[in-house]
Structure 1
Amino acid sequence: MATVGADRTSMFAPLDRSRWNAFHWKSVVTTGMGVFTDGYDLSSIGIVLPFILASFGQKSLTSWQSSLLTGSALVGAAIGALVFGPLANRGRKRFYGLDVLVLTIAALAQAFVQNIDQLIAIRFLLGFGVGADYVLSPVIMGENANARDRGKSLALGFGLTWGIGAAVAGLATMVLNACGVPADWVWRIVLGLGAIPSASVIYLRRRLPETPRYVARVEGSSAAYERVVEAVVGQPAAIAPVKRDDTSAAVYFKTHAKRIATACLLWFLFDLVAYSSILFGPNLIAKSLGVSSGLFQVVMELAFTVPGALVGLALIDRAGRKPMQIIGFLGMGASLVLFSLLRGHFVGPWVGLMLYGAQNFMSQMGPGSVSASGMLGVELVPTKIRGTVQGWTVASGRVGAAITAFVFPPLFARVGEGTAILLLGALCAIAAICTWVLLPETKALPLEEAAEESVA
């Protein structure tokens, strides 16, 4: 392995030193709409569940049905990530656009299902597309970004847009309900609308060039690299000789094993906690506070998640990944513990909403802008294995979320709201300790230096 130094990243100096420009904005929009769709689709099911039950003449779902309906998309996402991770190593652009095509078809198909079982099956397909997108989009964004703004790029494209998508799902439900739209149409329209943002970027994704780091380090093409750098930087640039990476993937998997395990573990722990709110907050928590699912979702996203994402966006490249994630996890844990201990003593629902919302704020300010943006899978490993590792980290997060989908409802029913939320607070403390002990800091480092990638 080459030692870290000036020569290590000289071939990518034009990229690392470039200013934020129109290409970066285009990349944020093109990649971010997939995450917007993810936020919309995964949040909307919890919001419209009462309408679905009314439409199919059911008073409630069995515990198993509830878990399958919320968890099928997450299981699909884990499988999609594991499939598209290795595929991304054969070319980032080659498969880009197929992910949002799957999202578009599946989102639209939800509007026409005739029973709960069909909806579960369609949402599994939807999740498959989400998993593919979560592999490809962060890798493409990270490999196109400059060193100074890489954290901001990922936090903007993945942290902020997710929360906005979730808020739009709540607003759409409230507007349709207020307009007197029949319950059977409300949920079909809300779920079907998820096809619009994903369809809007299919063409743009197919037009994006291959990432400069892929053409240099994997393909070893000097001519292609020069063309791509010019497209990203916006002007001709002096290009150092391209050095194809001849280090075997097996060597990288061995030397980076601890980093890979860290990225997987931290996303797993975050999704264990975060998806309890995403999937069941609009029903279980909102019901305990006496507010509607739509109102709960809108307040959580617009008053807490989106502002948290904006704070994370402002600080991620200044304070660093590690302190932001530690503070975020500790804040989440403290908010959940206080909510649990003080529940039943709230003077009106707004006090409870504020306290529970604080964990959403801290969540998105910290780990939601670091681990859940795909940042660790991008920054901690070399270009040659980045696709596969990103697939593993995404799958780890979705496995954590799926466990929440299947375990939280019976846990909630068995031990009660207060104890269940206390357990989530304890998980946050564990995640903060793991971050402090295991996570290296990568802020402002060129991607190859952050990833300890050999260029010898």
Structure 2
Amino acid sequence: MSSNNLAVLNALDTARTQWYHVTAIVIAGMGFFTDAYDLFCISTISKLLGRLYYYDPSSKKPGKLPHNVNNFVIGVALVGTLTGQLVFGWLGDKLGRKKVYGVTLILMVICAICSGLSFGSSAQSEPEADFMWRIVLMIGALPALLTYYWRMKMPETGRYTAIIEGNAKQAAIDMGRVLEIEIQADQDKLAQFKSANNYSLFSKEFFHRHGLHLIGTATTWFLLDIAFYSQNLTQKDIFPTMGLTNKDVEVSALREVFETSRAMFVIALLGTFPGYWFTVVFIESIGRFYIQLVGFFMMSVFMLIMGFKYEYLRQEEHKWVFAALYGLTFFFANFGPNSTTFVLPAELFPTRLRSTCHAISAASGKAGAMIGAFGVQSYTLDEDVNKIKRAMKFLAFTNMLGFACTFLVTETKGRSLEEISGEDGGVENESQRAANHQ
């Protein structure tokens, strides 16, 4: 570890794991949970809204959202997420992580409650289901509210207070209190530290140090989300084919929501959760770089198989093979780029620009999600088998592009954030980068 680093930063890197770290993990996890809940419940809500508000008694068929309305409902969520990531990511570097996180959580609470109070009536249909979609949306306010309470009890991050606010003394006090150790302020050393890293996002210095990193984190997240959101947003249509749910004409609206939720739980339990926990176990030994490479490659393999063998796999006698391939795709998404594309932007960039660069990367992901939702989903809307096969092959190709773009980022395991970003006085060169991949 470099001697040029501030004492408070060295303390953060070398501190033993204690309650502060557990609390920080829970707060970050609850933030991800709230975001994921609000975003992915939309696919089930949109199905339910169609059955409630577009039901025609004369047709004796379940109602369905018109294509343009469905796109609007899903599009609002994705556009709002993309815009919010860019705006609040930038504000996070300007106003502080704690303050901006608090503001976003309060907005999420207010909007979740208000969305559940939207006007509407479904008196031709099932009144219980009208209450259900409102309750589902309003429940999203609860984790956001709990997260706000716990985040406000914690101080601003030590790195932000010291490096961006320029108050090494306050950072030492805050981190010393939560880590239960005494930390030297290093106020005199701070000026030298800051002057060595005084460059903007659009400077030649940033491009020299981190230009390829930003291109790499943005492109890989973009390409991942094309495939990932194509699968997630169409789960409600794929599950009947896999035999995990009944056709919507056979069940009530409430029963359909239950069956879809149950099927999503099964996929999460067998594919998504294990993938995440494999990442937790192996990320420090294998490293972010190789986990991302393997994840992209295996996703591409399984999607290619489904693309070539779709007609064979959708037959009743092969439905569990289809389910296994589908689950393995999610496993390697999470034991792969769906984990590492979150991690790498949080580690590669300097403190002053970390939130902004992470926001740019995440927003690129949501741009990919829009292509998945409005491009791939719209292309396969008529459920034409040949179109679905071509779409799966296309998604396999995007994953291989993600595999290639991973080589634009570098391994970060085993190093401090200042060492990774070069803030401690070191500048990573190509030979160092190659060594980190060994």
TM-score by length of 1: 0.79
Structure 2, unpaired ranges of 5+: 56-62, 246-259, 427-438
Partner of residue 395 from structure 2, selected from 402, 418, 424: 424
Higher alpha-carbon deviation: 214-223 or 181-190: 181-190
AA aligned to 2:394 is: L
CA 279–240 in structure 1, closer or farther in 2 if over 3 Å, else same: same
Q: Aligned runs of 1:49-88 on 2, under 5 Å?
A: 49-58=46-55, 59-88=63-92
Letter in 1 for 2:238: I
SS in 2 for 1:200: helix
Asked if the contact 1:53/1:60 (under 8 Å) is kept, the reply is: yes
Alignment of 1:16-35 (within 5 A): 16-35=13-32
Q: Post-superposition shift, 1:251?
A: 5.1
Query: Residue 438 in 1 paired to residue 414 in 2?
Result: no
Name the residue aligned to 1:189.
Answer: 135
216, 229, 234: which one aligns with 1:280? 234
In the aligned structure 1, how far is the partner of 2:111 from the partner of 2:350? 33
Write the mapping of 1:29-428 to structure 2, written as runs, cut at 5 A.
29-58=26-55, 59-90=63-94, 91-114=96-119, 182-238=128-184, 240=186, 242-244=189-191, 245-246=194-195, 247-249=198-200, 250=203, 252-255=205-208, 256-281=210-235, 283-292=236-245, 293-346=260-313, 347=317, 349-371=319-341, 373=342, 375-413=343-381, 416-428=387-399
Which residue in 1 is equivalent to 2:255?
none
Alignment RMSD (CA, Å) = 2.2
CA distance in 1 between counterparts of 2:120 and 2:405 reads: 43
Q: Structure 1's 341 and 454: CA in aligned 2 closer, same or farther, altered over 3 A?
A: same
* 1:211–1:351 distance in 2 versus 1, CA, 3 Å: same
Q: Percent identity?
A: 30
Structure 1 window deviating more from structure 2 (358-367 vs 408-417): it is 408-417
1:370-419 per-position Cα deviation (integer Å, ceiling 9, x unaligned): 10x2x222211111111221221121111111222211222213752222
Q: Say if 1:329 and 1:366, in contact at 8 Å, map to a contact too.
A: yes
Secondary structure of 2:286's partner?
coil
How far 1:211 sits from its partner (Å)? 0.9
Question: Partner amino acid for 1:262?
Answer: G
> How far apart are residue 61 of structure 1 and its match?
2.3
Q: Is the 8 A contact 1:380 1:452 kept in 2?
A: no
Q: Which amino acid aligns with 1:97?
A: G
AA in 2 matched with 1:277: Q
**Structure ranking higher on relative contact order (CA contacts 8 Å, 6+ apart):** 1
Q: Deviations over 1:98-117 (max 9, x none)?
A: 1111111222222222359x
- Cα contact 1:47–1:297 (8 A) shared by 2: no
**Runs (5+) with no aligned partner, structure 1:** 117-179
The one-letter amino acid paired with 2:295 is: G
- Residue 438 (structure 1) shift: 1.1
Return the offset for 1:215.
1.6
1:147 maps to none
- In 2, are the aligned partners of 1:51 and 1:186 still within 8 Å (CA)? no
Write the distance in 2 (CA, Å) between the matches of 1:101 and 1:443.
34
CA positional deviation for 1:344: 3.3
Kindly indicate whether the alpha-carbon contact (under 8 Å) linking 1:263 and 1:393 is maintained by their aligned counterparts in 2: yes
Summarize the Cα distance change of 1:403–1:224 in structure 2 as closer, same or farther, 3 Å threshold: same
- Counterpart contact for 1:320–1:443, Cα < 8 Å: yes
Provide the rounded CA distance (Å) in 2 between the counterparts of 1:407 and 1:115.
30
Distance change (3 Å), C-alpha of 1:251 and 1:239: farther
The question of whether the paired residues in 2 share the 8 Å contact of 1:107 and 1:194 is answered with yes
Q: CA deviation at 1:239?
A: 5.5
Distance 2:413 2:339 in 1: 13
In 2, Cα distance between equivalents of 1:357 and 1:336: 11
Equivalent residue, structure 1, for 2:435: none
Of 376-385 and 405-414, deviating more is 405-414
**Residues 164-209 of structure 1: per-residue CA shift (max 9 Å, x gap):** xxxxxxxxxxxxxxxx983222222222211111111212222221
**Aligned CA distance change for structure 1 residues 50 and 254 (closer, same or farther; 3 Å):** closer
CA separation in 1, counterparts of 2:86 and 2:242?
39
Distance in 2, Cα, partners of 1:306 & 1:231: 35
Q: Distance in 2 between matches of 1:384 and 1:50?
A: 43
Judge conservation of contact 2:288–2:344 (CA < 8 Å) in 1.
no
Post-superposition Cα deviations, 1:45-87, rounded to whole Å, max 9, x if no partner, equal: 2123332212213422233222222221111111111111221
